[in-house]
Structure 1
Amino acid sequence: MMSSYEGTPQMKIHSDNEVLTRNDWKYGLFNWCDDCGLCLNTYCCPCVTYAQNKEKLEPGSTFIGNCMLWYFASLSVGPWIGFITRREIRNRKNIEGNTIKDWFIHCCCSQCALVQEARELS
């Protein structure tokens, strides 16, 4: 008898019931020097990189709105806005990790995380 269970977004199942493993990020967290333009842009104006990342994740979103969201969120709630987007990228790309690690990365090295996320989405 066939089951109608399709699995969770974190787990994909082949027709032969073999479970796929989670992926890794294409680029390391500290490989930001590989793209100097993106690196400089992110360190000078992280809100621009965040807005570009959100546009790739949510094509209907506005650049100015996302840029302002990052700016005001960075003044009040720190890494919260970044780690939520990072988690969304991980879930869509089936990348291994967890919410605590996403939050910690954005607390300690938000610009590095933004560059890694931008390169993953490109």
Structure 2
Amino acid sequence: MSLQAPQMVMVPSYNPQYVVQPGPTQAMTTYPLVGGNLNSFNKPISYNGQREWSHGGCSCLSAPGTCLCACCFSCCSYAKTQSRFNHLAHQGTPHPSHGDSCTGDCCTYAILLFLGCPCFLSMGGRKNIRVRYHIDGGCCSDFFCTWCCIPCSLTQESREVSLEEHSFRR
């Protein structure tokens, strides 16, 4: 006497379902962890959704401490601003220690400064800040700003990031 497993017979069934997909709609714009106020001074926004920098490129002397640091220790100033910016962009909150100045960014900037071309690294950081804050400009303006006066450019970038950080404290 042998035991056999019961056999199952598969009966194909045909049950067509028709699914109607919705029509096209306007694309939704999403922003990653926005954080604080990206336009603290409420600068007017132009027709293309861009605005000007909150502080002018030559107004670096109105922030003497930041300007002095950018003049004497530009690699540390660049690294600290990038650290603060990255923390805001990825965490959505200000950096708890107000930025790290001794990082790989600092070493890379110092090497490029020694070679006489730090503007190539600095213009990339400047572009990231422009994109996040919807600031008008392009790679040519970034290059010329960083090439003509690195301390002014670094101060302007630092002050733009500071405005968003200060918006959390209000």
Question: TM-score when scaled to structure 2?
Answer: 0.59
d(CA) in 2 for partners of 1:96 and 1:105?
13
Residue ranges of structure 2 left out of the alignment (5+ in a row) = 1-22, 32-46, 91-98, 163-170
Which of 73, 76, 83 is matched with 1:55 structurally?
Answer: 83
Distance 2:148 2:101 in 1: 25
Equivalent residue of 1:25, what SS? coil
Instruction: Find the partner of 2:144 among 98, 104, 109.
Output: 104
Deviations 1:27-77 (A, max 9, x none): 000111111111111111111110111101223895322211210122234
Aligned residues: 113
Deviation, structure 1 residue 109: 1.0
Distance 1:79 1:21 in 2: 27
Instruction: Name the larger-Rg structure.
Output: 2
Gaps of 5+ in 1: 10-18
Structure that is richer in helix per residue: 1
Identical positions, percent: 26
- With the length of structure 1 as denominator, give the TM-score of the two structures: 0.80
State which of 68, 80, 93 in structure 2 corresponds to 1:40.
Answer: 68
